[in-house]
Structure 1
Amino acid sequence: MMPRAELLRDVVADLRIAASFVTILPVASSKPAGDGAIARATWALPVAGLLVGLAGALVYKISIRFGLTPNLAALLALATTALITGALHEDGLADTADGLGGGRTRERKLEIMRDSRIGTYGVCALILSFGLRWGALATIADPLAVAFALCAAQTAARAGVPAFMSLVPPARPDGLSASAGAPPGGSIAIAFALGTLALALALGPAKALVGLILLSLAGLMLARLAIRQIGGQTGDVLGAFEQTGEILILLVAASFQMGR
């Protein structure tokens, strides 16, 4: 059995690795990124997502306190989450939309996804992503409810990433996704449990169930599309998966809010 001190060091190292990939915060990892460390640390992605959600929620509350409307506060909250993550997932969404929508062959699609320039499909995807999330937060309006929704969305959207990485093979032998490797079963299970717990605590059992179903369906659809068009997943596809999850959870929270 692993000593408690060593276990704690491994947990802290995994949290640092996850935070370094999810955010631009200067979080140094005490654990080498090689030898499967990244894959093992994927269980901590939901925890890193929770920090992003809390930052967005804080900015939203402060904005409301200073008299801004929910529309403006929602924009500032989304800008905060994008700033903290370095717009990593938004970039992945745009590249995935450009690649899957623009190329005719597998090679051309992968080439487009590696191109730093953004195309029409990518612009449209970003407009839809920010627009839907902005509208959902503005609809929820109440600062406490927004905080719960943001934390649930940021956490749950990353909870399925380890499973997606494990079930969908890398589309190419190089790149971040391929070098990270397939997460072990324990990391997949912990991440899923953390995401489910966040949804249940923040949105309640009924909303959590709806969110889980939608996330699962979206993941299956994206996986099928990625395998058919480019032969698997890339880091950009993982970013698109995360963005889709955020959108769905916030829409679920907003729709139930309207139904009260």
Structure 2
Amino acid sequence: MSEQFEQGEAATLSGWQAAAADLAHCVRFYSRLPVPALPWEQNAHALPSFPRLVRMIPLAGLVIGLLPAALLGLALTLGLGPWLSAILAVAAMVITTGGLHEDGLADMADSFGGSTREKRLEIMRDSRIGSFGASALFLSLALRIGALATLASRIDGSAVIAVVLIVASLSRTAGLMPLVFLSPARRDGIARSVGQPARETFWLAAGIAGGISVILGAIAGLPPSGIALMLVLSALSGAALTGFASRHLGGQTGDVAGAAQQVAEIAALIGLLTVVQP
């Protein structure tokens, strides 16, 4: 019903108004940023309809990455060093998103303790974090901070700012893959309620994310081979997580999408690192 309402609302808007409303919906869903209701939005804080909004997710990733990227650049300019600057940037990203993707990664990691599909899904719904989840969170934060700090020590400040923006857009697009290529593992839950995006719309979003990566990377002077590796590894990691979720859970959940985003971000950063040598 909500999806039909939103589609009806979108039909009454001009092209740019619908795109702006979709972008605002995406940013609200993926972050804690205080996005005000646009004058033409009738239901600004409704649960988003992913079949229609997917194309704007790469741009929403850019918006979400602005504060962490700016903080990283400011910290480097103030001479705080690559490691402290990277910690501040990752902390800003976690605060900006409310730990949305980290929560998904932790829940999926905890599901390793389940012996059956039903038990794994039950574990993922438990708000408590177990040893697998805590370990996954620690490793994810450590890998992201370490990769970003190492990059900050090898490339200039403007380039590493561009990297933060690229991975923010690219990883959230890769995080869509389980939602697109798998059916929901549960009969209820957010993954089912937001709808399954069409593959054609996903490929459009992937093209936008790829274009953003190439343009920002070229402006920042990143090596083309490094940009290509970021694209390839983020896609492969998203595909690998999708395949694993199919075998492990028999479908996808919102937690799987969050885990895919985290893995894609790490893969993209490490991929670039292998090309950008000291």
Q: TM-score, normalised by structure 1?
A: 0.91
Question: Which of 239, 252, 258 is matched with 2:258 structurally?
Answer: 239
- Match of 2:4? none
CA–CA distance in structure 2, aligned partners of residues 172 and 210 of structure 1: 34
Q: Deviations over 1:146-183 (max 9, x none)?
A: 11111111110112344431211111111111111111
* Correspondence for 1:205: 224
- Matched residue, 1:166: 180
2:211 alignment partner AA: L
Q: Given that residues 162 and 191 in structure 1 are in contact (C-alpha distance below 8 angstroms), is that contact kept between their aligned partners in structure 2?
A: no
Query: Equivalences for 1:89-104 in 2 at 5 Å?
Result: 89-99=101-111, 101-104=112-115
Question: 1:185, 1:148 → 2: CA distance?
Answer: 28
Q: Give, in whole Å, the separation in 2 of the partners of 1:205 and 1:254.
A: 13
Q: Deviations over 1:47-91 (max 9, x none)?
A: 111122221111011112222111001000000011000010011
- Which residue does 1:189 correspond to in 2? 203
**Partners of 2:72 and 2:239 in 1: how far apart?**
33
Aligned 1:52-91 pairs, distance under 5 A? 52-91=64-103
Output the aligned Cα RMSD. 2.1
Tell me which moved more, 155-164 or 16-25: 155-164
Residues 1:144 and 2:158 are matched in the alignment: yes
Segment drifting more, 158-167 vs 3-12: 3-12
5+ long unaligned stretches in structure 2: 1-9
Q: Which of 63, 82, 105 is equivalent to 2:116? A: 105
Separation in structure 1 between the aligned mates of residue 178 and residue 110 of structure 2, nearest angstrom: 21
User: Post-superposition shift, 1:28?
Assistant: 4.6
Cα deviation for residue 185 of structure 1 reads: 4.2
Q: Partners in 2 of 1:184 and 1:149 — Cα distance?
A: 28
**Residues 159-211 of structure 1, C-alpha deviation per residue, up to 9 Å, x if partnerless?**
23444312111111111111111113453133101211122222453223222
Give the deviation of 1:3 after TM superposition. Answer: 9.4
Q: How many residues are paired up? A: 256
Once residues 7 and 231 of structure 1 are traced to their aligned partners in structure 2, the CA distance between those partners, rounded to angstroms, is: 38
Q: Deviations over 1:92-126 (max 9, x none)?
A: 11111111x11111111111111111111111111
Residue identity (%):
39
In structure 1, runs of 5+ residues without a counterpart are none
Matched, 1:126 2:140: no
Taking structure 2 as the reference length, the TM-score comes to 0.85
Instruction: Tell me how far apart the structure 2 counterparts of residues 20 and 38 of structure 1 sit (CA, whole Å).
Output: 13
Give the Cα separation in 1 of the matches to 2:113 and 2:265.
24
SS in structure 1 of the partner of residue 276 of structure 2? helix
Moved more, 147-156 or 4-13: 4-13
Paired position in structure 1 for 2:238: 219
Aligned mate of 1:48, from 60, 76, 81: 60
Q: 1:232 to 1:31 in 2, by over 3 A?
A: farther
Change (3 A) 1:4 1:110: closer
The AA in structure 1 aligned to 2:24 is R
Q: Tell me the residue number matched to 1:256.
A: 275
